[in-house]
Each structure stands twice: as C-alpha cells, then as structure tokens.
Chains A and B, each alone.
Chain A
Amino acid sequence: MTRSVRRTRRTRRTLQVAGAGAAALLALSACSSDDSASSGSDSSASATASDKLSGEVTVFAAASLKESFTTLGEEFEKAHPGTKVTFNFGGSDSLAASITGGAPADVFASASPKTMKIVTDAGGASGTPATFVRNQLEIATLPGNPDKIASLKDLTKSGLKVVLCDKEVPCGAAAQKALDASGLKLTPVSYEQDVKAALTKVELKEADAAVVYKTDVNAAGDKVEGVDFPESADAVNDYPIALLKDSQNTEAAQAFITLVQSAEGQKVLTEAGFLKP
C-alpha cells in the first residue's frame, strides 16, 4: 500500500522536474532580454510569467541574507499573486545538514561554496549552483568608534576585546584568511559560533570589536560602526544559490532564483552591503 503511494509520488516528481526545466529555460531567456530593457518592462515580464506560477516556495538561506531576501520574497509574492515564499534563515552549515537530512526545501542560498558542496555532494541540488553575490568582511566597532580602530592591525592592540567567528564557520575562516594574508597575529577573547553571535557581543558592548560581514554591519544599523579594511579583499566570500532536487514547486522556485539574480534582486542585495558576483 505504501509502496504504490510512493511510486505515484515519484512519477509525479519526475514530471514536475521535466516541466521545471522547460520553465527555467523560458524564464532565463526572459531574464536575459530584460537586462537591456527598462525596469518597467522587467516587472511586466514577470507578471506574464506569473500566470503559471502558484503555490509555496520554501527557501533555506544563510542568516546574513535575512533582510534582503525578506524584501525579495515580498516582491516575488507581489509580482506573482497566488504564490507564497517561506524562508528558513540560519547558519549555512546547519541548513545544509537539514537539507541532506531530508528537510522539505525548494531553494538553498548558502554563505559559502563549502556548505553548498555538502548539498551537491549528497546529490541534493538540481543543476550547478550559481554564485549570486559576494560578501566582504568589515570591522564592527562600538558606535562612534571610541577605540579609534582604523585597520586590521589596530585590532591587535592590547587591552582591546575582539571577537572573531570560529574558524569552522565561513566568517571565521574568511577572517583568518585576511589575518594570515596580512601576517597579523590576533588573539580574540572568543571565537563565536556564528557571525550574528559575534556581532551581538559588540552590540551589547561586551566586546570592543568584531570581524564580521559588511552586510551584518549594515543590518545592525547604528548599534555598531563599520570600518573597512583593505585586507578584506583577500577574503571575499562567494554566496551560491541552487534549486533543490526534491523541490515540489520547481517553476516558482526557479522564478525566485531568477529574481535574486536579476538586476532588481541585485539592487536589493547591494543595498544591503553585498558585492556583485
């Protein structure tokens, strides 16, 4: 009894994937023609596509994407009435773990190629992931920068409480790369488990500075002050996005990915502090 149910579901899924491929081709061609066109015709093109789109799209996305993706989700729902975008923001590692563990998701947007690789290695992605933005490190200091931090080297000053992300998580690995590239040796008071935790320590004034993503500094508003440093160019993080194989709504999912990669999507993301790929 269960076997027959499973079989019908599987056939339906293969049909959907086949259909999604066609839809994706259509959407991609529409998108490429939009690049030259004005933004007004862009939205009208999406509107025509929306005739076919409906249902729910579940997007698993890195925590740093929260603000920009939420905005894009609203835009998507507005452009395609009848659709609903549900997000699950979290650490890329744990998101990857839940996807390979069988969590129902249509799209995965990760903060590092390494975590995306966990999903692709497990055969969870359909097609090759594409880098849609890049994120750059920035130093977050207390408001007004009371410790006069101007460079990465300033963080090594004694008496300064600096927090870094743990080397095991993307922002920590990136920070270590930047420090290594500039030949600096920095002993933080703590290696935080993720970028938001590192930033929180500065927001709560428990730490004097943290090395985090530019986007996180932007999102924190005036609770922290960002200081750019040239070494960050050596440690830029690629953010890949991919349609997932187990997607139940590939057409809408692909349309969302397309939106993220569109000029309109990129505008929202760069406003949040991301770099174009």
Chain B
Amino acid sequence: MTALGTPGLDARLVVDRGIFRLDVALTAGPGDVVALLGPNGAGKTTALRALAGLVPLTDGHLRLDGAALERTPPESRPVGVVFQDYLLFPHLTALDNVAFGPRCQGVGKAEARALAAAWLERMGLAEHAGARPRRLSGGQAQRVALARALATRPRLLLLDEPLAALDARTRLDVRAQLRRHLAEFEAVAVLVTHDPLDAMVLADRLVVVEDGRTVQEGTPADIARHPRTDYIARLVGLNLYQGRADGHTVRLDAGPSLTTTEVLTGPVFVAFPPSAVTLHRERPTGTSARNLWHCEVAGLETHGDQIRADLTGELPLAADLTTVAAAELGLHPGTRVWATVKAAQTHAYPV
C-alpha cells in the first residue's frame, strides 16, 4: 500500500506456530500510535515480537520508512521495545540501563551516559539515575524502560502491555504520562494491550485481533460505537446484536425485534449501552419505549458506583442501574423483570 520510501510502517505479519497462524496487516504514519487490542492468546505479542525481529516471519513483509526489514536481525532494526515486565537489566543502574542502547550503537561511554541522564531527566527520574531496577517502583521502572527504548532513537516503538504490571492507582498516573510521551514521539508507536481503556486513551487507532486475524480496525471512538464482534462489544461495554433491518425495525437473529432511529435495510449490527436499559418489576404501560422484553436476572455485580445486571430471557442483555434503583426493584438472581430501551439510545449500522 505504502510506496517505497514513504515514511512510516507498512507490514503484513504472517507467523505460523503449529496450528496457530498469525496474519495481521499493519500500517501507520509517523506520529501514529496504533494499539493492537485483543484477548489473551490472540497473537498480539507474537505480532509485536515479529515487528522487533524476535520471531521470524513465515510470510508477508515489513517495511519501515521504506526499508525492508524482514531479514534484518533485531539488533540492527531501528526498533525500540518496552517489554511487559520491562526487563530492565538488574545488574545495571537506571542510568546504565538507558545508556546501554546508545553504547551498543557506538556512542562513547561519557556521551551515552549524558544522553541517558537527559532521558531520565525528561522522564522526571533524574534522582533515580543511580538506582538499581530492584529499588524502583513499578511506575518508575516503566518510565526507565520507556527511556531506554527511546534512547536508541527508534523509528518504531513497541510497547507490550505497558501498564499491565502496575497496580490500579499507579496505572492512572503512568497512563497519563505515557500518553504525553507517546504524543511527543515523532515516529510510529505500536502498543499491545488487552485493556480497552489503555488502548483508547493511548492510541489514535485500534487494530482488534482475535485468533491471529484482524477483526476490526479504526479510531477508538469508531470502534466503541460500532463494535463488530461480541469481544469488542463486551470490551467497550455495549449490548451488541446482529440482525436484518427493514426501515426502523431490526429483526434480531436472537429472536425479538428492535426499533431504531436509523433507517436501514439488510444485515446490520445494533448496539446500545447498558445504561440505556431501564428495568421494571411490572409491565410498564405509560412508557414510550417500544423496545420491551421480558427477562430474568441471571447475575448482579457492582460496577463502579453502579450495579450491572446480567439478564437472560427474550433478549440477553446487560443493564446498568443505580444501587438505589436496584434496591427499590428488589433485584436478586431469578427475579423476573421487564427491560426497555428507547429507540433514540440504540445505534444500528450495516455489517
């Protein structure tokens, strides 16, 4: 797709691993941050390792700024990697970890250390320069790993689950910082994550991978609104159904019909967020909602300050309601309820 000499990444990664086959195409321009999002075992990390040269390609191609890299060994690729557990060299100080890359590239010792010091300064880690990785906190280690990867001036930055090793509190801070650093990064960044929030906050574009194949690609907003698989819908917290549209009515494959605001014909997806669902103990009479289904509560779980009800019945769906509302309704597993969704809150789009 990208012509020879065009800056950025143009890759089709095919890796055979026994019965598993990864086949993913990736393109990105300089400054782009692409997130590979997918469940465990989808092949995201394999894709990342293939980009870094740690796993050979079975087929396909890999061009970075127009240069073919398929046969280039990892040490000769202009690629920086932030590993999931960072893999900071435990016997080296933070400074020497960051200086490692420039030293390998032939920079003199003093110069490499000055360079490393500058990177640590930029990451706000100047006072930890002399610390061994063991003595760094998770967030600090993550930033040292990022500085180490960036210090080689890569044209492609790879991040493998950059926030997975952090606890929830640190994660928030580090995510914000990482977002800033990625925004400043002038070349292509590819990050791998199974956390949709990380992906949506950090990336300009998402590539959703399932079973080694790309199932959806687009901006975070686009994917959040128009999920095309159950996995993505669950990730972004949407109720997703496939059906056949005829005007405002969509006959769902799952059984009942659903009324939407869009006018479409043919196979479509219909999605609506759990917060759009209202639950009633009695069949509502005066409501304008035309989407009404009789369901049974299968499970309840706390979701932030809300309660998410997992419903089965006419139409399986997830509904969010306040704790007060849940208490007033007297919900418990097995309770039979009526669920309504306003047509205005549903969203239909062609398959």
Instruction: Check whether chain A touches chain B (CB < 8 angstroms).
Output: no
Residues of A within 8 A of B (CB): none
